[in-house]
Amino acid sequence: MGLVAYLKTQFVLQLLLGFVFVVSGLLINFIQLLTCVLWPIDKQLYRRINTRLSYSLWSQLVMLLEWWSGTQCTLYTDQATVDKFGKEHVIIILNHNYEIDFLCGWTICERYGVLGSSKVLAKHELLKVPLIGWTWYFLEIVFCKRKWEEDRETVFRGLERLRDYPEFMWFLLYCEGTRFTEKKHQISMEVAESKGLPKLKYHLLPRTKGFTTALKCLKGTVSAVYDVTLNFKDHQVPTLLGIINGKKYMADMRIRRFPVEEIPEDEKECANWLHKLYQEKDALQEHYHKEGTFPGPTITPPRRLWTLLNFLFWAALLLSPLINFACGVVVSGSPLLILGFSLFLIVASLAIRRLIGVTEVKKTGSSYGDEGSKKQN
């Protein structure tokens, strides 16, 4: 292990990274709160400002992936599809197998200029998560409880509000509804068998309601659906903790573009289209497991300096007063000050660990398989 790689694993440096993210996030959330006065005056200006504020926060996580860990993302797609990236409103369908699948999606958003305006259909519990949920609230993210009778009005209203969004947006859908685990997969395939649907090997049965609703509400706004199938070289199982420790991963993403005109408008036919899409995604994963690659030409978009420069700006702004204060505490020799600062570090480390825990597969709570949730398709 080289010196730089060793330093990346040290708790103190990781704590400083977390401090910059948390404190800058709180400052950004406060500024977002202040921008709310713009909503009744100029809604589009409010949106443009918050798009850039959210970029300043999310790009710090992308910086960890691209510059801190050096993770590489290779796209398997054609140049004609890439030429449209960042130039149209789209719905993204991504498989939900890994702790950092959202980060891989965000790094592609960043490289094509749509990170700040990226959207997601998020579970309601995330609204209560500091920084993440609060930033999403100001970005007009649609939150749902995954109980259709309760979500219907909220989802329709939230999606229709985005029809006039001024920046090109990529709207992410995890159609499987929850992250893949063996237990959930077993339950999902039991449901597939009971409904007479083909079984999937690498995915859960997609929940069609969210997709058909999003397509219907955003009709005339989105021009295409991007199907993204993600996997990692050498059977790697990436984690956010691995990223923070500087571990490098090799991500491969097969991207296919489907113009909305090719997708049936009828809800039942649209649901069948989605089921067929997931059968194709399963075949792509089978190919990847056998060959180690996806079919098709490859493109590796270069990482941009903006994420690194943005982090360095926040680090310069926030770490200097923190280090000066820490030195002052040590020099003072006051047991009370030293104890207080030590407690602050402990609380800060626990808070950061809690945020990381939101992404961990083994800690991801879900009602998947409950009788109530089985009825949602």
pLDDT in tens, the chain (377 residues): 688 888 898 888 888 898 899 899 999 999 999 999 999 999 999 999 999 999 999 999 999 999 999 999 999 999 999 999 999 999 999 999 999 999 999 999 999 999 999 999 888 888 888 889 999 999 999 998 777 777 888 889 999 999 999 999 999 999 998 889 999 999 999 999 999 999 999 999 999 998 999 999 999 999 999 999 999 999 999 999 899 999 999 999 999 999 999 999 999 999 999 999 999 999 999 999 999 999 999 999 999 999 999 999 999 999 988 888 778 877 777 888 778 877 877 777 776 666 666 555 555 545 555 544 444 45
Cα separation, 377 vs 375, whole angstroms: 6
Q: What is the pTM of this model?
A: 0.89
pLDDT at 376 (0 to 100): 45
98, containing H or E segment: none
Question: Which of 302, 301, 283 is CA-nearest to residue 95?
Answer: 283
Q: What are phi and psi of 259, to 5 degrees?
A: -60, 145
Residue 144, pLDDT score? 84
Q: In what order do the strands lie in the sheet with 72-76?
A: 142-144, 119-123, 170-173, 90-94, 224-232, 250-259, 72-76, 298-299
The pLDDT, as a whole number, for residue 270 is 96
Rounded CA-CA distance 115/55 in Å is 6
Type and span of the H or E element at 145: none
pLDDT of residue 375: 47
Distances in whole angstroms, Cα of residue 156 to Cα of each of 119, 220, 268, 357: 15, 15, 18, 30
pLDDT recorded at residue 372: 42
- The Cα angle at residue 44 between residues 40 and 45, in degrees rounded to 5: 85
